[in-house]
A = this chain, B = another copy of it.
Amino acid sequence: MKYGVLGTGMVGQALGTKLLKLGHEVMLGSRVQEHQGAQDWKAKSGGGAKIGDFRDAAVFGQILLNCTQGAITLDALRSIDRKHLAGKLLIDVANPLDFSRGNPPTLTICNTDSLGESIQREFTEAKVVKAFNTVNCQVMVDPGRVKGEHDIFICGNDSESKNAVKELLRDFGWKSIIDLGDITNARATEQLMPIWIRLWTQFGTADFINFKIVRN
């Protein structure tokens, strides 16, 4: 499968590398075509790794992953001709973190709306599935780093697209996937960020933390 990854930060690189390891073709897209982080990633990733701008990655990918910073996600998507999003699964990994008030960050959008919903509302031609946004990128691609049982959450409006994301998650090693329902559930998973970030501060690392929903 061809994956277009929007965003060349730690998250985009980690997911891109994992997808390459699984035998997929991956293009990382950034704001500009000649992005240093993307070039470094390509150099160390070897064959199969491609880079470009957001538009290039969207054209290339059969499946797209939004790994941009939440605050710039909508602008990044607006830089892409909508026809390149049409009918495609867009996995939204981003969180709408706002660092302008200092640390810990607040959310630019929450409670009565979410980033996942905003994307789906504006880009109706894409099939948005919110996933991965409640764990560190090292855990995203290697859930076994966290010992014991733990969960990953997904939500979205299209069942077939959610099934594709579940399959991808299982390929990544995820054993327990909780499908919360439609895309409005992005409010719930994005609002896990405040406690996740505070636990990170508390424990000194986010590499080995995740949520487990315990129930009988």
Using a Cβ–Cβ cut-off of 8 Å, how many residues does chain A contribute to the interface with B? 39
Interface membership of A101, Cβ < 8 A: yes
- Whether A106 contacts B111 by the Cβ 8 Å rule is yes
9 pairs of residues in contact across A and B, judged by CB atoms under 8 Å:
A146-B215, A146-B216, A150-B212, A153-B195, A180-B202, A181-B201, A188-B194, A188-B198, A208-B215
- Cβ–Cβ < 8 Å partners of A210 in chain B: 213-215
Residues of B within 8 A of A107 (CB): 111
Question: Would you call A110 an interface residue if the criterion is a C-beta within 8 Å of the partner chain's C-beta atoms?
Answer: yes
The answer to whether B189 touches A191, judged by C-beta atoms less than 8 angstroms apart, is no
Q: Contacts A110-B111, A149-B214, A215-B146 known; A195 to B188 CB distance under 8 Å?
A: yes
Instruction: Name A52-97 residues within 8 Å CB distance of B.
Output: none
Give residues 179-203 of A contacting B (CB, 8 Å): 180-181, 185, 187-189, 191-192, 194-195, 197-199, 201-203
In the complex, chain B residues whose CB is within 8 Å of the CB of A14: none
Tell me the minimal C-beta distance from A176 to chain B in angstroms. Answer: 11
A211 on the interface (CB 8 Å rule)?
A: yes
Bound-state CA distance A106–B180 (Å) is: 17
Copies in the complex: 2
8 Å CB interface, A137-192 against B: 145-150, 153, 178, 180-181, 185, 187-189, 191-192
A180 in complex: contacting residue of B145, B198, B212, CB < 8 Å: B198
Counting CB contacts under 8 A, is A209 at the interface?
yes
Residues of B within 8 A of A195 (CB): 153, 180, 185, 188-189, 191-192
Could you say which residues of chain B place their CB within 8 Å of the CB of A208? Answer: 215-216
What residues on B are CB-neighbors of A209 within 8 Å? 213-215
CB pair B214 A185 closer than 8 Å = no
A111-B111 contact, Cβ under 8 Å, with A146-B215, A198-B180: yes
Q: Are A215 and B203 in contact (CB under 8 A)?
A: yes
> Closest B-chain residue to A147, C-beta based?
B216
Quick one: which of A107, A181, A203, A211 has the most chain B CB within 10 A?
Answer: A211
